[in-house]
Homo-oligomer: A and B are copies of this chain.
Amino acid sequence: MKVSVGISNRHVHLTKEDLNVLFGEGFELEKLKDLNQPGQFASTSKLTIKSEKDSIVGVRVVGPTRDYTQIEISKTDAIKLGLNPPVRESGDIKGSSPITLIGPAGTLNLSEGCIIADRHIHITPKQKELYGFSNYDKVNVILPGEKGGIICNVSLKVNEESYFELHLDTDDANAHLIKSGDIATIIEGEEI
């Protein structure tokens, strides 16, 4: 099964409360552009993320606000920051890396929230059945090209409201010389 690729650069999800601390009371995220996943958008707002070792400026906030604050970075970013974040599914931040967020109106010292996002494919329940993945929650995917290969442990992220797409971070993209819109091939999975 063919699937298009979307590359996620480092980004931040915020709770309404944390958005207020960082950008000011009553602040609302403004849409820069829609993302492929329904309802999700790149906002015009950016933050600095900071560790004891280093910081990265201009990290984009993805909207809308969520019920958790989460910072998704690559391993390359993590090495720069001297962090060792776990590979996690979005929302699973318990025990993840501490990090500091610096916005125009305030600073948040988070005791956890920084992760490396797992490789995942957004898929609807209907597509999962239709495409023959009913028995899988993880699959392997062929990435084409000169530095191509097969990536394992790619999660199927099932949601009624989703756009069928493989999400990789910038390390996966750069290692394989893959860019958004490229086509990958799901080949097999681990049976549940």
A→B interface (CB under 8 Å): 74-76, 79, 87, 119, 140, 146-153, 170-172, 174-177
Contacts and interface: CB of A to CB of B under 8 A. Distances in A.
Contacts of A149: 140, 149-152
Contacts of A176: 175
Q: Which secondary structure characterizes the binding site on chain A?
A: mixed
A175 B87 contact: no
B75 A174 contact: yes
Contact of A175 (B79, B148, B150, B174): B174
A87 B177 contact: yes
Given A75-B175, A119-B147, A175-B175, 9 more contacts: A76-B171, A87-B146, A146-B153, A147-B151, A147-B153, A148-B152, A149-B152, A150-B150, A171-B174
- Give the 3 A-B residue pairs with the shortest CB-CB distance, closest first: A175-B175, A75-B174, A171-B175
A75 B170 CA distance: 10
B146 A177 contact: no
25 contacts: A74-B174, A75-B174, A75-B177, A76-B170, A76-B171, A76-B174, A79-B174, A87-B146, A87-B177, A119-B147, A140-B149, A147-B151, A147-B152, A147-B172, A149-B149, A149-B150, A149-B151, A150-B150, A150-B152, A171-B171, A171-B174, A171-B175, A172-B175, A174-B175, A175-B176
